[in-house]
Amino acid sequence: MATAKKNTVETVAETFEVAFRDVTFTVYRDPMEWDYDAMDNLNDSKIGPALASILGASQFAKFKSLRPKAREAVELLNTIAENAGAGDSGN
């Protein structure tokens, strides 16, 4: 007896890389692929939690290990937002 196979399409979300100091982070280009909490954190101007939600746990841990200044965190978030087509984060 033959088993029918379903056709499946796998969508791979597009990403981009953003450099900070000597480290490169990979981020989803489409904000709809970001963790849901990212939008709430961005709306509440919570820069650290927003970056944590966008970068994911391991990349955010690496970012924090670099001991960035607040200004640098805002600049990274703005760079991510610009590359994701979301514009300036407002900070």
Q: 8 lies in a domain? A: no
In angstroms, the CA 50 to CA 34 distance is 10
Q: 70 lies in a domain? A: yes
The parent domain of residue 64 ranges over 25-83
What pLDDT score does 6 carry?
57
> Among positive and negative, which fits the CA dihedral 42, 48, 51, 52?
negative
Q: 14 lies in a domain? A: no
Q: 20 lies in a domain? A: no
**Global pTM?**
0.78
Q: 55 lies in a domain? A: yes
pLDDT at position 89 over 70:
no
pLDDT tens figures, 3-57: 555 555 455 579 999 999 999 999 999 999 999 999 999 999 999 999 999 999 9
pLDDT at position 90 over 60:
no
Counting the structural domains of the chain, the total is 1
